[in-house]
Structure 1
Amino acid sequence: MTLEATKKAKRHAVPLGAFGSLIALGLVLTVWGPELFTSETGPHGGFDPIARFLLAVAVIVLVCHLIAALLGKFGQPPVVGEILGGLVLGPSVFGALWPSGRAWLFPAEVLSTLQVTAQLGLVTFMFLLGCELRLDEVRRHQKTVWITVAGSMGLPFVAGVGVALAAEGMLAGRFGSTTAYALFFGLAMAITALPVLARILVDLRLDDTVIGRLALTCAAVGDGAAWAALTVLLALTGLSGSGSVEAVVGMAAAFILVTVLCVRPALAAVVRRCERTPAGEQLLLPVLAAGAIGFASLSQVIGLHPVIGAFLFGVVVPRDSLAVERISKQLQGFAVTILLPLFFAGVGLSTSLGLLSGVGPWLLFLGLLLVASVVKFVGAGGGAKLAGMSTKDSLRIGTLMNCRGVTELVIATIGLQYKLVNDLGFTILVLIALITTAVTGPLMQLLNRRESSR
């Protein structure tokens, strides 16, 4: 296909897709209209559960990607539109405008299946995130990286713990441990989203600059530290798993040691062997996919969250393999396009802006947003300045490290699942992730314009 033909295909892809979706929607309304608009069973004997699940998936994928394409025209990364798509399909918009339609499209059995399917997308995403965790730049800029990471995570963590303790009555879940809740909230305030930050840097053409590489390295180190801290927190509190806390900690430590000392070299040998022939390279995709899913399952059995196992397996995958890079792109295409929007929809269906009704919740949300943004900016930017960077570059590092994106949503979902935070706390964390991610690109463009005008 020529370049001109490719451009034409891209221009017509959204209109044709929208047209096809309208035809499908018209058929659904024609056949199942009575059941959709009333509580009566239609002439075709009701909607088959599998058909309803597939329709729900189609609606989620279409809505998330249409909103992402729309916001992309304003310079926003796709994840912002996809998160908004999940919120639109939740109780705050779809449920408020058409309660019966939302109840028909997302009944309990469909929601249950969507949540399980979304876990597969989340596991795949975390495996890919582990594969992207490259720490080569740490050796080149050790001082700058470690001081910046300490500031970008340490200060927000302390502030998050303080705010969590002050607002425990409004944000804490039913788990019952104040320490676990406060530590978790501090961790949620300290996170930076590595994959979304990488996309923003590409859009701003900063990915191959010193600032871009340094920001990605700091985000990678911070993400690794955050998931390690979450692993320790889940193990020490015994939040999941049926064994004692000591057993969970022991199994988690053994799991990590075996992975690093045994699985890593064995996986490197398998990759080298599979790369020798085309048939072997084709076998590598199911091997890595099965490994990531198997590690996620084992992590759940041990008493940790499945995403930790998938992330750990991604970390030990060889970095110098072209075959692994190609496979990662293949997995990323399906996971990001189809599976990850299901996770966003699950987040949106669990998020209710109605929980912010009243002065108290709104003040709490605005206060947390201010604390999360300012403290992260000051911590990261101040750390970069202390490490010897210029004021201009320190401001840029502080702005970039404020991007929380999908990683914050994953952390928030884990907190809600284990009842560390309640529904209001979850909603606030989701909104903080959305807003801090949405403003990162425009703020960087503003800083660049100010610098170029001088």
Structure 2
Amino acid sequence: MSGIDAAAPRWRGVVGAVSVVALGGAAWAWDGVNDPLARFLVAAAVVVLTAHLLGALFQRFGQPQVVGEVVGGLLLGPSALGLLWPAGQQWLFTDPVRQGLGSAADLGLVVFMFLVGCRIRPEELRVRSGALLGLGVGSLLVPFLGGTALALLVGDRLASGTRPAAEAVFLGLALSVTALPVLARILAELRLTDHPNGQLAIGAAALGDGVGWGALTVLLALAGGGHAGGAPLTVAALVVLLPAVRYGLRPALAALVDWAERQPASRTGQLLSVLLAGLLGLAALTQWLGLHPVVGALLFGAATPGGHPAVRRICRQLEGFTTAVLLPLFFVGIGLRTSAGAVLGDPAGWLLLLAVLAVAVGGKLLGAVLGTSAAGLPRSEGLRLGVLMNCRGVTELVVITVGHRAGLVNDLGATVLVLMAVLTTAATAPAHRLLERRAAARPGAIGRFRRWPGWAR
């Protein structure tokens, strides 16, 4: 009875929100309102409500909330709403509304990548054990090589074919991604956060994020998509920017955070203002240099002392609004550009999707098994770790968006990669639970892992 009582307010809130949106839409349609702000707000309300309803539904089936939110964005795009009711989708998402949603989504993306960067602690990426290095390198290198080879084989099916080397490297990077924030959520749901497997997976994902984003930044610079003079100036600016962030910005932010913590009641708001201004400024700079605003946001986050109590408080404030409102707008932006019918309605599209899935999943599993086996772990442990490393989540969607805007992947390729990201993320927790049940028949496996001398917490 208590569960029903606890759920009642939530569902009353959902019904109330649906009613408000329905009444607003009815009034809009009846009066023929054409005010751009009103249309934007109604569309944003529909997006946020759909994302949270799907997120709550997927959570009831043991999935991370973000999987439902991404599916909600896809359902509002041509894959579902545009297919079943094209006039309704065009009425809801006019060109001005799409532009407004895109701008809000870009802001949410920048803040989200700042939060991701705050979780990456460069000093903690030092190798704590052979298993961490083996898992990190294996789960990154094998799918990268497989994706690069696949891109060279399929030619211009997933990309334009004008820059085959850069496009092949991008596909390899896209298939080697592991989403650190979503992985942390899944580990918490599986109660593995403090387990050696969970600690290894988090450390390897952080290592992979650092290497992968660094490689993607260099690739964008070499691709020469900038507005500030092309590839040479972009590469030169990157060579100057990285040391400036490491040796100039990072100490300055550490001193600023220490200053704010001495009087947290009065200075936390000032710290928040300075961090947001610096974040947006560096994101704007990297966008102008032709990289991408998320590169500047990630660098700013990595330079911020994320373990500091003051920064943790600010991150909690930013995370609530970002994940509740801004990220769903990013997901619907992806959904509006993704047409699953273009892939699933064509036998060649099915083959491409299956090939990408095989390389992405198989590369992670093989790389994890090879890397951890070289460090002395049993293959069964490597397999379970490989399943966890297959979680791609929001990070993969960000990488796809960056590559699509830079022209490193075409519409079909972006759609295939989005479907791959959703499927692999959704399969992570169920696949790990299945392997755990099979491992339960061998009760000595976990004990052997804990006694393995190469593991050091």
Letter of the aligned partner of 2:15 in structure 1?
F
Q: Which residue of 1 aligns with 2:454?
A: none
Among 186, 207, 215, which residue is 1:221 paired with?
Answer: 207
- Output the CA distance in 1 between the equivalents of 2:77 and 2:127: 46
What is the CA distance between 1:45 and its match in structure 2? Answer: 4.4
Among 156, 159, 180, which residue is 2:146 paired with?
Answer: 159
Contact 1:137 1:214 in 2 (8 A): no
Q: Which residue of 2 aligns with 1:27?
A: 23
What is the CA distance between 1:169 and its match in structure 2? Answer: 2.5
Q: Which residue of 2 aligns with 1:230?
A: 216
What is the CA distance between 1:10 and its match in structure 2? Answer: 5.2
What is the CA distance between 1:282 and its match in structure 2? Answer: 2.4
- The change in CA–CA distance for 1:110 and 1:360 in structure 2 (over 3 A counts) is same
Is 1:409 paired with 2:368? no
Among 109, 115, 118, which residue is 1:131 paired with?
Answer: 118
What is the CA distance between 1:167 and its match in structure 2? Answer: 1.0
What is the CA distance between 1:16 and its match in structure 2? Answer: 1.8
Letter of the aligned partner of 1:236 in structure 2?
L
Contact 1:134 1:217 in 2 (8 A): no
Letter of the aligned partner of 1:257 in structure 2?
P
Contact 2:143 2:176 in 1 (8 A): yes
What is the CA distance between 1:421 and its match in structure 2? Answer: 1.0
What is the CA distance between 1:173 and its match in structure 2? Answer: 2.8
- Output the CA distance in 2 between the equivalents of 1:92 and 1:62: 19
- Output the CA distance in 2 between the equivalents of 1:181 and 1:308: 19
Contact 1:127 1:292 in 2 (8 A): yes
- Output the CA distance in 2 between the equivalents of 1:186 and 1:172: 13
- Output the CA distance in 2 between the equivalents of 1:327 and 1:404: 26
Gaps of 5+ in 1: 34-41
Among 405, 408, 431, which residue is 1:443 paired with?
Answer: 431
- Output the CA distance in 2 between the equivalents of 1:17 and 1:168: 50
Q: Which residue of 2 aligns with 1:302?
A: 289
What is the CA distance between 1:142 and its match in structure 2? Answer: 3.8
Contact 1:131 1:317 in 2 (8 A): yes
What is the CA distance between 1:149 and its match in structure 2? Answer: 1.7
Greater alpha carbon shift after TM alignment, 118-127 vs 232-241:
232-241
**Counterparts of residues 131-150 of structure 1 (less than 5 Å):** 131-134=118-121, 138-139=125-126, 141-150=128-137
Contact 1:138 1:145 in 2 (8 A): no
Please report the RMSD computed on the Cα atoms of aligned residues, expressed in angstroms.
1.7
- Output the CA distance in 1 between the equivalents of 2:367 and 2:5: 45
Contact 2:184 2:193 in 1 (8 A): yes
Q: Which residue of 1 aligns with 2:166?
A: 180
Contact 2:21 2:45 in 1 (8 A): no
Letter of the aligned partner of 1:262 in structure 2?
G
Is 1:386 paired with 2:374? yes
SS in 1 for 2:361: helix
Letter of the aligned partner of 1:152 in structure 2?
S
Contact 1:135 1:217 in 2 (8 A): no
What is the CA distance between 1:140 and its match in structure 2? Answer: 5.9
Letter of the aligned partner of 2:78 in structure 1?
P
Letter of the aligned partner of 2:232 in structure 1?
E
**Counterparts of residues 358-377 of structure 1 (less than 5 Å):** 358-377=346-365
Q: Which residue of 1 aligns with 2:12?
A: 16
Among 230, 236, 246, which residue is 2:232 paired with?
Answer: 246
- Output the CA distance in 2 between the equivalents of 1:23 and 1:144: 53
SS in 2 for 1:389: coil
TM-score scaled by structure 2? 0.93
- Output the CA distance in 2 between the equivalents of 1:47 and 1:196: 39
- The change in CA–CA distance for 1:81 and 1:140 in structure 2 (over 3 A counts) is same
Q: Which residue of 1 aligns with 2:387?
A: 399
- Output the CA distance in 1 between the equivalents of 2:60 and 2:340: 26
- Output the CA distance in 1 between the equivalents of 2:186 and 2:425: 9
Letter of the aligned partner of 1:328 in structure 2?
C
Q: Which residue of 2 aligns with 1:39?
A: none
Post-superposition CA distance 1:24-78 (Å, at most 9, x none)? 2442354233xxxxxxxx5x34332111100111111110111110010111001
What is the CA distance between 1:393 and its match in structure 2? Answer: 1.8
Q: Which residue of 2 aligns with 1:38?
A: none
Contact 1:381 1:398 in 2 (8 A): yes
- Output the CA distance in 2 between the equivalents of 1:137 and 1:13: 43
SS in 2 for 1:171: coil
SS in 2 for 1:388: coil
- Output the CA distance in 2 between the equivalents of 1:246 and 1:259: 20
- The change in CA–CA distance for 1:13 and 1:165 in structure 2 (over 3 A counts) is farther
Among 185, 193, 200, which residue is 1:207 paired with?
Answer: 193
- Output the CA distance in 1 between the equivalents of 2:357 and 2:127: 34
- Output the CA distance in 1 between the equivalents of 2:170 and 2:305: 31
What is the CA distance between 1:139 and its match in structure 2? Answer: 4.1
Contact 2:21 2:46 in 1 (8 A): no
Is 1:268 paired with 2:264? no
SS in 1 for 2:391: coil
Q: Which residue of 2 aligns with 1:291?
A: 278
Q: Which residue of 1 aligns with 2:301?
A: 314
Contact 2:127 2:133 in 1 (8 A): no
Greater alpha carbon shift after TM alignment, 11-20 vs 52-61:
11-20
